[in-house]
Structure 1
Amino acid sequence: MKKISVMLIISIIFAAACKNKNTSKVTENIVPPVADKKPTSLNKHGDIRIDDYFWMNERDNPEVIDYLERENDYNEKMTAHTREFQESLFAEMKSRIKEDDESVPYFYNGYWYITRFEKGKDYPVYTRKKDSLDGREEILFDCNAMAEGHSFFQLGGINISPDNKLAAFGVDTVSRRIYTIRVKNLETGEIYPAEIGNTTGGSTWGNDNKTLFYTAKDPQTLRSDRVYRHVLGAGQQDELVYHEEDDTYNAFVYKSKSRKYIIAGSHSTLTSEYSVLEADTPGGDFRVFQPRVRGLEYSISHYGDSFYILTNADGATNFKLMRTSETETQKEHWEEVLPHREEVLLEDIDIFRDFLVVSERSEGLNKIRVMRWDHSEDYYLPFDNETYTAYTATNIEFDTDILRYRYNALTTPLSTIDFNMVTREQEVKKEQEVLGGKFDKDNYVSERVWAEAGDGKKVPVSLVYRKGIKKDGKNPLLLYGYGSYGATIDPYFSTVRLSLLDRGFIYAIAHIRGGEYLGRPWYEDGKLLKKKNTFTDFIDCSRFLIAEKYTSPEHLYAMGGSAGGLLMGAVVNMSPGLYNGVVAAVPFVDVVTTMLDESIPLTTGEYDEWGNPDDKEYYNYIKSYSPYDNVKAQEYPNMLVTTGYHDSQVQYWEPAKWVARLRELKTDKNILLFHTNMETGHSGASGRFDALKEVAEEYAFLLDLEGIKE
């Protein structure tokens, strides 16, 4: 077992004690940019807000570009002393990754499909082999060649026609998640000239091999609101088959696993609705499965002569499973298969010929349940770790006894496993390789602890660190949080995170309200007029970790992105003294203004998450926590804020305005850095190695604050 030397520990502690002095010497003469103040009066419900930086909303305004570039220049100068360290971190992270890697093959409709990466290249190559893995490789898409000439490239929605001769695919070269769909002839290699713009990138084929269904986006709001039918070679305008007129919903389309139905759906945060069309008659009309009822959520899967429905109907907060015939699909015909359970969240199902596989969550942990349709067997896959992540993977084939699932933990690399549901034997098809020869999972410890929130609720926290760390309050600790949309941040393995752990950091995930880690009620208790529970949970987790001497305010760091960036903005307003440094990536921080502007992408679909500020009660509540509206004259921790100029989810001006106001009002001399990637959007760089440079930037910021230079 490899241990950190005593001298290294001493040097880390000594460097940490000197960190503020060292940092100030390097950067004390660099002057931060000052944004022009152009007061705009915003009046709602008789409440007047003065926004001095509202002018930054003007995309492509030369003054806006100038400000962003001045901030980038300031960031470059302030971090110049860490440039070599960033490059070293990048090289270190890259060295752990197997560059010439490939996915575990999966079989579908006569072909084995494989995604592989080539050494030194950023993008995947999509391939297939007919019948046997020993067959000739057919390259479907080489994204490295397709990405040439583009600073950003994303291929999505690859969809093979039933006769295996055509592939529909979507491409985004801007990073605003607006895809152009095209069709490739896999026999000749020809890409047909027709282009379908303003789409989600996804599509699905009718069983006639010429009818393609896809979802279009509104060019202004980027809401997916229309489903179209495109007929190859017809020379006619695509037919609108579904239009979602309610601007709080988003539409989508896909094919059932049974391949019998094309399914068009629409959903909001609280409500869903589906329509179905037999794939053998793709020119026909869709019929509504169950008309929408506000608060009724459901999803459908087809098997035999029935549909299976995962739903919250009749007060099933954690969802239950129902069944109905193909012909009588409305709610009054649904029959219960698996009842609602107060302590178990029913997350998903996978349907096979002989088995039903149910994905559950109990006490925060993933469970995979296998059930025979004839009720002769009903069992769970065995998992015995204290904190882990397990989920079903690519299971496209219907007529098979093999369930593919994935498993990993904070200390355990990701494994892809084929489980025989009849014999209960399993085969590890692939375990994520950690190159470099230095990683040994026995050198690390993971645990789950429970912090007490102010209202008495117990909030789980997952942690990982190197063995031998002492709980003396001197350890640097990075606490990550999200806490919105019911999204659960499960404990997962990360090769890049080793660069923090091996330098003495503890890494922790706060499973705060607003996610579904402890079931659907955990989400409901962290949204709308209960949103502040998300923020106070994170603060209480921070205080718990300090009280238990995992760390101290001098060594505690926080990180979150998007809605997690909102979390960061809220907690630094509420409890800035708890943290030495904070990283806020693409942060959603101008909540009131954004939620009042229906022209901004995604706004209207978020009313059931945050509330509609046209309602005075929601307006006042959102305003009470919106980070931008609550910046005040106080000391703030050291902060790194990042964004992408083409971000379609959180517009660049939100963090830009926030940083400008922070610079104006904060009373400390701590570091405030703002980096806008002028070529990317919400998800950052598209290449697998370019993305590592962004992580290296964040890690160098944190390590530099700790005085760790190498």
Structure 2
Amino acid sequence: MKFFVLIGVLIMSSCSEKLVKPVAKKEPYEIITHGHKRVDDYYWMRLTDEQKKSKIRDEQTKAVINYIDQENNYTQKSLSHTNLLQKTLFDEIVERIPKDDETVPYLENGYFYYSRYEEGKEYAIYCRKKGSLEAKEQIILDGNELSKGYDYFSVGSRSVSPNNEWLAYGLDTLSRRFYTIYFKNLVTGKVLEHSIPNTSGSVAWANDNKTVFYTSKNKVTLLSEKILRHKLNTSYEKDVLVYKEADNEFYTGVYRSKSGKFIIIWNSSTLVSDYHILNTDNPNGDFISFTPRGERHEYDIAHYSDKFYILTNDKAENKRLMETPDDATDISNWKEIIPHNKNVHLLDMEIFENYLVLNHRKNGLRGIRIINQINKKNEILDFGENTYAAFISTNKEFNTSILRYSYSSLVTPWSIYDYNMKTGKKTLLKQDKILGGYNQKNYFSERLYAKSRDGKKIPVSIVYNKNYKKDYPQNLLLYGYGSYGSTIDPYFNSARLSLLDRGFIFAIAHVRGSQIYGRQSYEDGKLLKKKNTFNDFIDAGKFLVSSGYTNKNKLFCS
């Protein structure tokens, strides 16, 4: 009897136990910047990279980790009633993902490159084959071997030298996106003793196969700000500064042009782009400005043969395509190729010997336009769905009529295609596998249009499982994002199936602040017009309620 009384007391005690939220202590810390003083009560939580790396924790580190543990424990206890559901959902999502996946090989400079995963291993294995996919595989980097001994591990960019003998690769073992660059001889398999710390993780090779250019990051602001020149087999302390960005509103980086003729330094802020170029045959030379930095001038460049193609917003908010000789790049020499179109937003371009390919957004959808440079014929690819997203994929070779692109929709898993621009033949190379079975015919997606309170049209992409669609309002998750011009495209996500297969409808409100209808959508959703972003989202929700898809008690937002 006493035993049961004790059990009852314990149960009552556990039921009545009240969770207490952890409260971070306050330790005032004065920061003076530009003569202005401010107080940060939580500065004590800021740990240096050295403290994060150290296996021996000092008192400050212990205090920070102790508070984080308190927060985590509070969260776990607060959500303990959902533990079974969390495990069920997690297991469902993970079980849909193949454990032995492989990317589609692409050809670059005589080699086919790809990466693959092996079941039971966490990181990618990077490989190549010379000349043919039937050739012997060469493993150039194995993340599973390199990750041993680290609590955190990430492989950054990988870049092979023009003579195919050297691999430069970046590793982050701290989780701060500070990569150390290493150099591996692909003939001998040996890694050089000299590495380069504190970088963005990528390099641009000069044609001498021994000089690289890389980006150094500011340890405090985390911004990329310097471009340096490095010679293989030398200490990074001897590296030469070739460019420093003075404006902390700009990000900067460096890459090698697809043509292999130029090393290109790029600079980018919210409203301005800027480039400096150097011939890859002259790595010790000086970079020259592509054209003077302007105000509110954003543009992209791509080199081919003896000229640059330029996507620019100069006198064209949705951008226009121009070209200029590669030895006369000032804006005064630019010549228009494709004029501005207020209904079509030019997003990206790919150059081939006989073709020009543009990624554009028209009617809010991301599509692909192909221009034959010989006969000037235009083709816009038809994808057969009313809501989708198509992207230019990896195309490293100029002398080919094959365009590789990726495609997805709310019901079509990510797919990689090769499209023959000469014959019009489309070949599916890979479609993401959904383990456990996925029948696309069971799902339906469409593009709807809500009306905002100021009369503007708001695209709404929607998807549901047809087997669970009802004639009455049901649970609906509405998602939206509208800042920095970032546009949410309607693409497939296997994790979403756990929602749809429980009778939820999923919808995306393509609100202003994005660039869903081009640059004007962004301008209409920022600064003093920012309220349009929120009004569009609210009005899209009201539209879905009035259309009978859901009601105010079953509408969830994210």
- Give the TM-score, by structure 1 length: 0.71
Cα displacement (A) at 1:546? 2.4
Cα displacement (A) at 1:43? 13
Q: Is the 8 A contact 1:32 1:71 kept in 2?
A: no
The within-5 A match list for 1:583-598 is none
In structure 2, distance between residues paired with 1:454 and 1:505: 27
Q: Is the 8 A contact 1:39 1:50 kept in 2?
A: no
1:557 matched to which residue of 2? 556
1:240 matched to which residue of 2? 241
What SS does the corresponding residue of 1:201 show, helix, strand or coil? strand
1:55 matched to which residue of 2? 42
1:175 matched to which residue of 2? 175
Query: Which stretches of structure 1, 4 residues or more, deviate above 6 A after TM superposition?
Result: 39-44
The within-5 A match list for 1:145-184 is 145-184=145-184
Q: Is the 8 A contact 2:367 2:389 kept in 1?
A: no
In structure 2, distance between residues paired with 1:156 and 1:66: 31
Cα displacement (A) at 1:56? 6.0
Cα displacement (A) at 1:318? 0.2
1:261 matched to which residue of 2? 262
In structure 1, distance between residues paired with 2:296 and 2:494: 41
1:227 matched to which residue of 2? 227
Cα displacement (A) at 1:547? 2.6
Query: Within the alignment, does 1:75 sit opposite 2:62 as a pair?
Result: no
In structure 2, distance between residues paired with 1:280 and 1:229: 14
**Alignment partner of 1:35 out of 2, 17, 23:** 23
Q: Is the 8 A contact 1:471 1:551 kept in 2?
A: no
Matched letter for residue 476 of structure 2: L
Matched letter for residue 309 of structure 2: Y
In structure 1, distance between residues paired with 2:240 and 2:308: 27
In structure 1, distance between residues paired with 2:527 and 2:30: 23
Q: Compared with structure 1, are the counterparts of its residues 350 and 455 closer, same or farther at alpha carbon in structure 2 (3 Å cutoff)? A: same
Matched letter for residue 382 of structure 1: D
Cα displacement (A) at 1:354? 0.7
The within-5 A match list for 1:283-682 is 283-314=284-315, 316-437=316-437, 439-467=438-466, 468-473=468-473, 475-559=474-558
Q: Is the 8 A contact 2:194 2:233 kept in 1?
A: no
Which structure would you say has the larger RCO, counting Cα contacts within 8 Å and 6 or more residues apart?
1
Cα displacement (A) at 1:195? 2.1
Q: Which runs of 5+ in 2 are unaligned?
A: 1-13, 48-59
Q: Is the 8 A contact 1:40 1:50 kept in 2?
A: no
Q: Is the 8 A contact 2:106 2:394 kept in 1?
A: yes
Q: Is the 8 A contact 1:471 1:548 kept in 2?
A: no
In structure 2, distance between residues paired with 1:222 and 1:41: 22
In structure 1, distance between residues paired with 2:400 and 2:16: 65
Q: Is the 8 A contact 1:114 1:127 kept in 2?
A: yes
Q: Percent identity?
A: 47
Cα displacement (A) at 1:177? 1.3
Matched letter for residue 67 of structure 1: Y
Query: Within the alignment, does 1:271 sit opposite 2:258 as a pair?
Result: no
Cα displacement (A) at 1:57? 6.7
Matched letter for residue 197 of structure 1: P
Cα displacement (A) at 1:472? 2.4
Query: Within the alignment, does 1:141 sit opposite 2:141 as a pair?
Result: yes
Matched letter for residue 35 of structure 1: V
- Residues 60-103 of structure 1 deviation map (CA, whole Å, 9 limit, x = unaligned): 45555443322210111122333333223222222222211111
Q: Is the 8 A contact 1:99 1:118 kept in 2?
A: yes
Between Structure 1 and Structure 2, how many residues are aligned? 528
Q: Which moved more, 1:162-171 or 1:72-81?
A: 72-81
Matched letter for residue 446 of structure 2: E
- Residues 613-651 of structure 1 deviation map (CA, whole Å, 9 limit, x = unaligned): xxxxxxxxxxxxxxxxxxxxxxxxxxxxxxxxxxxxxxx
What SS does the corresponding residue of 1:533 show, helix, strand or coil? helix
Query: Within the alignment, does 1:202 sit opposite 2:202 as a pair?
Result: yes
What SS does the corresponding residue of 1:94 show, helix, strand or coil? helix
Matched letter for residue 247 of structure 1: N
Larger Rg: 2
1:590 matched to which residue of 2? none
- Residues 361-420 of structure 1 deviation map (CA, whole Å, 9 limit, x = unaligned): 101112211111123422111123110111110011111110001111101112111000
Q: Which moved more, 1:32-41 or 1:105-114?
A: 32-41
Matched letter for residue 528 of structure 1: L
Q: Compared with structure 1, are the counterparts of its residues 532 and 69 closer, same or farther at alpha carbon in structure 2 (3 Å cutoff)? A: farther
Cα displacement (A) at 1:277? 0.6
Matched letter for residue 524 of structure 1: E
- Residues 121-154 of structure 1 deviation map (CA, whole Å, 9 limit, x = unaligned): 2211110001111111111111122222323221
In structure 2, distance between residues paired with 1:375 and 1:528: 45
Cα displacement (A) at 1:55? 2.1
Matched letter for residue 31 of structure 1: L
Matched letter for residue 400 of structure 1: T
Matched letter for residue 364 of structure 2: G
Q: Is the 8 A contact 2:194 2:234 kept in 1?
A: no
Cα displacement (A) at 1:483? 1.4
Q: Compared with structure 1, are the counterparts of its residues 36 and 187 closer, same or farther at alpha carbon in structure 2 (3 Å cutoff)? A: closer
Q: Please give the root-mean-square deviation of Cα atoms over the aligned residues, in Å.
A: 2.4
Matched letter for residue 70 of structure 1: Q
What SS does the corresponding residue of 2:238 show, helix, strand or coil? coil
Cα displacement (A) at 1:42? 11
* Structure having the larger proportion of residues in helix: 1
- Give the TM-score, by structure 2 length: 0.90
What SS does the corresponding residue of 2:74 show, helix, strand or coil? helix
